[in-house]
Amino acid sequence: MKQKLNILFYADVLCYGLEPNAYRSGVFFVALNILKCLAEKDFIKITFDTSYSNFDKLRKFLEIYFPDKCFNIVDLNCSDSYISKLYLDLKNAKSRAKKEKKNVKKFFYQVLLWCIYLIHGVDYICACMRYSKLYDAYFTPAYNMSKTVRKCTGIKKFVFLHDFIPFILPDLHPDSGKDSWFNKMVRGLSPDWYYFTNSECTRNDCLKYCPQIDKNKIFTALLACDEHFKPADDKMQQYVKNKYNIPMDKKYVFSLCTLEPRKNLIRAVKTFVEFIKKDNIDDMVFVLGGGHWDMFIDKLNSEIEDLGDYKDKIIKAGYIEDEDLPALYSGAHWVVYTSVYEGFGLPPLEAMASGCPVITSNNSSLPEVVGDAGLTVNPYSDEEHIMAYEKYYYDSNLRQENKIKGLERAKLFSWQKCTDIIVNQMFNAVSKE
């Protein structure tokens, strides 16, 4: 077995972390935390593969998150980056020459285009030979993979798969079409590669939707939450309530997710209003946190407006700063996360680690995360939502019991465990050579 690993890490997803928007979500944090664990291992050398246009963004990311580390950055499609632009310029010039009936220029540009094809082909072959000698493994934390390395047989390839929701819920996802990037990605998954899934649920989905993949090359690596997720003191809880305009004299229910149809937010909000109407409750509000899909936010806003006098009970906090999340979880009476489907579901785990009782759906991967430490409901049942709200509101002993259970359950998950599974499988695959 090799004592060291030279890993190429597909890094485009890390660049998402620089902007506070919907892209800075679960997949980014998975990539970040796996990278943190890999970077701590002195027997691993990491080189980043990112598109040339993202070089500056990636350097900025590394300055923020890894100021004391030194990494190499390459673009395995660097030729494509330059040649594609040159090819496009020449193609446009050829078209202009054709319109102007300048046949000599047209022929000249065509010769140059043929040369580009030749250069690209030679460069690709040389790159494959070079990278096969330099690197042991290629790891992509977010589906994508460099075009150059995709067919480079000398490098073992490892892909982290997060979910198959475009196939499972085609009506709720924009990437579910036959020609969507996701469909093309799944068709392009090779039986020669190795795969990690974030839950047993996602592994089972992979076996169902990717029959070309060998089940012995799919490994479950459960996710975790950052170490800074822990119960916050009263002072910090009061600070974040003020910062996100949560009334100081109100208790609050908290939901953190990308605002999109799959998260079941409209039902969660409407059943909350039905709950406070039914029980004549005036001391609670519902706080929505997270980035949003543009195609969904108008619908959500319209539904909230239709709540009439109760619309003021719904607070849209928007994007939440990382350092504020533990306190917002800790201060919440409970967290609601009743998605109609999840590949894993980080927010309930973060909430449990922060000492907050949770309500989740009883489907997909969420029971793997929550176990018996929270209340689970049918995501399509209004009645079960309302009953769960009532249980937590009226039973302080249940809240305290699930708070303690949640803190203990959260300890079962760690990024080190997740990363060790990845590294061990890399060593096993490389050592078979």
Q: Which of 413, 426, 346 is nearest to 38 (CA)?
A: 426
Question: Residues near 19 by Cβ (< 8 Å), separated by ≥ 6?
Answer: none
Q: Look up tokens 């990382």; give the residue.
A: 322
Residue by residue, DSSP assigns 66-99 as -TT---EEE-TTHHHHHHHHHHHHHHHHHHHHHH
Q: Go through the domains of the chain in sequence order and give each one's CATH number.
A: 5-79+116-224+415-431 (3.40.50.2000), 234-410 (3.40.50.2000)
Angstrom distance (rounded) from CA 129 to CA 126: 5
**HSE (CB half, 13 Å, CA atoms) of 139?**
29
Give the pLDDT of residue 261. Answer: 78
Residue written as tokens 């409750």? Answer: 281
Cα gap 8→270, rounded to integer Å: 47
- In the chain, the percentage of residues whose pLDDT exceeds 70 is 86
* pLDDT tens per residue, range 310-366: 888 888 888 888 899 999 999 999 999 999 999 999 999 999 999 999 999 999 999
Q: What pLDDT does 143 receive?
A: 75
**What type of residue sits at position 58?**
L
Question: In the predicted model, is pLDDT for residue 31 greater than 80?
Answer: yes
* Residue 378 scores a pLDDT above 90: yes
Higher per-residue pLDDT: 150 or 192: 192
Are 34 and 415 in contact by the 8 Å Cβ rule? The answer is: yes
Residue range 220-249, pLDDT digits in tens = 999 999 889 999 999 999 999 999 999 999
141 Cβ contact partners less than 8 Å away, ≥ 6 residues apart: 9, 10, 13, 27, 30, 31, 34, 35, 160
Whose tokens are 């649920």? That residue is: 201
The Cα 231–Cα 363 span in angstroms is 27
- Mean pLDDT, rounded, of the chain: 85
Is 253 in a helix, a strand, or coil?
A: strand
Two structure tokens written together for 400: 């305290």
User: Comparing 38-42, 112-116, 206-210, 318-322, which segment has the lowest mean pLDDT?
Assistant: 112-116
Say if residues 375 and 353 touch (Cβ distance below 8 Å): no
pLDDT of residue 219: 97
Q: For the beta carbon of residue 291, count every other beta carbon within 10 angstroms.
A: 19
Residue-level pLDDT at 80: 47
Mean pLDDT of 9-30: 78
Whether the predicted pLDDT of 394 surpasses 60: yes
Q: Which of 62-66, 122-126, 286-290 has the least mean pLDDT?
A: 122-126
pLDDT, mean of residues 26-51 = 91
Q: In this predicted structure, what is the pLDDT of residue 53?
A: 75
Residue that wins the pLDDT comparison between 117 and 250: 250
User: What tokens appear for 326 in the block?
Assistant: 């533990």
Does 142 score more than 70 pLDDT? yes
Q: What is the pLDDT of residues 86-123, one digit of tens each?
A: 656 666 777 777 777 777 777 777 777 777 666 655 55
- Checking if the pLDDT of 48 tops 70, the result is yes
pLDDT (0 to 100) of residue 82: 53
**Helix axis angle, 396-410 relative to 382-394, nearest 10°?**
100
Round to whole Å and give the CA distance between 359 and 275: 15
Residue 403 backbone dihedrals phi, psi, to 5 degrees: -65, -45
Considering all CA atoms of the chain, what is the largest pairwise distance in Å, rounded to the nearest integer?
86
pLDDT of residue 366: 96
User: Residue 408 class from Cβ within 10 Å (0-12 exposed, 13-18 middle, 19+ buried)?
Assistant: exposed
pLDDT computed for residue 79 by the predictor: 45
CB atoms within 10 A of CB 130: 13
pLDDT in tens, 196-205: 999 999 999 9
Q: Indicate if the pLDDT at residue 392 is higher than 70.
A: yes
Q: Point out which residues pair with 46 in neighbouring strands.
A: 7
Range 162-180 average pLDDT: 79
